[in-house]
Structure formats: C-alpha cells, structure tokens
Amino acid sequence: MDVLRPTLIKIGGRVYRKNLIQEQAYQHEEEEAEDFCAGPGDCADEPCDAFVVEETEKGFQCRVEVPSPLYKYIIGKKGETKKRLETETRTSISIPRPGVEGEIVITGQHRSGVISARTRIDVLLDSFRKKQPFTHFLSFALNQPAIQEKFLQFKEEVLEKCSKDHGVSSSLFQNPAKLHLTLGTLVLLNEQEIQKACDLLQQCKEDFVDQIAGGKPLTVEVAGVEYMNDDPAMTDVLYAKVHMKDGSDRLQVIADQLVERFVASGLMLKEWDRVKLHATVMNTLFRKDPSAEERNNTMTSKSSFKERESFNGRNILKLFENFYFGEVQLDSVRLSQRFSLDASGYYATSGQL
C-alpha cells in the first residue's frame, strides 16, 4: 500500500484512512496488525449518531457486540493493540474471555474519547472480518436425482472422450450430491450472526421472493457448459449454465435482490453488480482436495491459483457445449453451512425460505 495514498474505508457514512504497520499477530498467527486514523469528519471532533454512547456516573460508556473469534484482533500480541487504543483514546476497554460471547465495553471520562475508541475498533473489525474465510453461503440446491444422473453421464462421457487432454482427470468433478447454485458467501462467526441471517432470509421471503415467484417453485433448465477464465486451454472452473424454462428473468431478479438485501445488512460483501448464476461441475481445487468448497474467483488467494493445475477444456467445451443436465424445480433458498453435510450429502442447512 502506498503510504502517501492510504486505503480509504467508509463506515457509518464516514471516511477513514487505513495506515498499515507490521507486527506479529496474537497467538503467533501471521497477520498484519493495522492502525487506523480518522479522516475528514472524525467522530472524535463532533457528535456521532452511528452508535449509542451512554452517560454514566463515572463518565461515558459504549457497548459493541463482537463475535468471540475477533477478540484477538482488538487485543493484539500480548495485549499491545488494546493498550495502544486505551492510551491514545484515554479509555478503558473491557473484552470478554476468549471463546465467551458477549459485548466489548468502552468506558472513559470524555465522550469524544469513547467515540474515537469505538470508531477505531469498528475499523479494525471491518478489516479483519474481510480476511476470514467464509462459513456459510446462500444456495439453490440442484442435487435432485435426475440432475445427478445426467451429471454422472456427463462425467463418464468427458472422461471417455477427453481424458487424454492436459490436466483432465476424474478428481476434478463436483460431488453430484453437492450440485448447487451459489448466490453469495457470508462470514457468520457465532450463533447470533447465524440467527440474524436466518431471520433476514425469512424477511426476504415475505417482502419479495413469494411475490416474484408467484408462490410456486421456479422451473429451471440446466444446460450447456462454460468456463470461468479467459483461456479455455487453461481452465480452472467449468460450470453448467442455468435459465428459467419460461424465458423470464425471475430467478436472476430473486438472486440479485437477495444479495442486495444481505449486502445492505452488512452480512455479505458486494462483489458483482449481478449474481452470476452457475453450477460448478469441474474445479481444479478438487484435484488435491475432493472436499474443497466452491470459491468465487475473487475469493481465491493468489497463492491458491499458483498451486492449481489448470486443464485444457477446449474439447470439453466443443463436445459438450449444449449438454442437457435436465430440468429442476427450485422451491427454496438455503443458508448452507460450509464443510458440514446433511444425510443426503448436501451442505447442512442453517436456515431456508
């Protein structure tokens, strides 16, 4: 990062500069500890309505709910980050014990100091939350028996006709029980955040999903294959395309509005203007780890791409360009849990509409 042009972060309608300093992370993890200075409109200099500051007998107090996995980023190595925040803002910061869910409580004699500490904690949490691997994702399940059967036929024919192409092997194929459409990924770090996502999903159903769907399942066709990157000879992800059988855009509208609502709630990061509806059928991430989860290109680290062995997908694209995987009735959106499966072999569901 250019120190003369630091990254700007918007929180609560205000803009903050992010200044990077290197230090060893808490509990020997290799992380970057970050210090933040408020930019124009510093809350320390004027009233701030983004959060509640209570007046007490001893001064002022502010409470903030923080998932326990993020405590360590506020504490820092040997408590250095916490001590620095307290010293620079002239406040006292109380943090629950590791693993115990609760509130971080900021107290101080001056309201401006409490606001400054809270603002800096929010910026720290926002930065480190973005570094957490996603835990859940919104999905449409496509693992109906008829689709699974056609997928297995696709796999058999690809291996029969294209197994000599560079990088093509049986290890690249998706588990048929996990076939799905991903709408967006979430980082949910405790039961409260999971419940918040479930409640929002139900609210979306009442607000617009039922109306758009007409109260009936959406009939979708899964047909044709496409690749993610620019060079079909160096393919990492091959996916099946989906479209509404009636030719409407209702599935796309529901997907886009769901993501928009979850982004607005702060539960999801905005990645694209529109959801790219696709069902992964081959992925080079599966080559070394058959249980690897589907990742969007923007969520896969550069190091992961270096470790991936791409495959030549030209013949597959030519021979199976219009392969018909079948028709499916989509009747629910699921809040699916990563790395956890139900009895059917699909991802465990934390909530659904």
pLDDT for 259-297, tens place per residue? 999 999 989 988 888 999 999 999 999 987 766 654 443
- Percent of the chain residues topping a pLDDT of 70: 80
Residue 171 pLDDT > 60: yes
Q: What is the pLDDT of residues 76-85, one digit of tens each?
A: 999 999 999 9
Task: Tell me the residue ranges of DSSP E strands in 228-353.
Answer: 237-244, 278-283, 324-330, 334-341, 347-352
pLDDT, residue 239, reads 97
- In tens, the pLDDT along 296-311 reads 433 444 444 457 899 9
For the chain, first and last CA: distance in Å? 42
- Contact criterion met (CB below 8 Å) for 176 and 151: yes
DSSP string across 244-272: ETTS--HHHHHHHHHHHHHHHHTSS----
What are the chain's domains?
A: 53-131 (3.30.1370.10), 136-287+308-352 (3.90.1140.10)
- Global pTM exceeds 0.85: no
Residue 23 CA to residue 167 CA, distance in Å, equals: 41
For the record, the structure tokens of 199 come out as 């409640």
Residues 14-72: tens digit of each pLDDT: 555 555 544 444 344 434 344 444 433 344 444 445 679 999 888 999 999 999 999 99
CA angle (294, 299, 304) in 5-degree steps: 80
- Mean pLDDT is highest, among 21-25, 46-50, 128-132, 332-336, for 332-336
Mean pLDDT score, 172-197: 95
pLDDT at residue 106 is higher than 90: yes
CA angle 191, 197, 199 (to 5 degrees): 100
Q: Residue 183 CB: number of other CB atoms within 10 A? A: 21
Q: Which position has the higher pLDDT, 2 or 292?
A: 292
Q: Is the pLDDT of residue 251 over 50?
A: yes
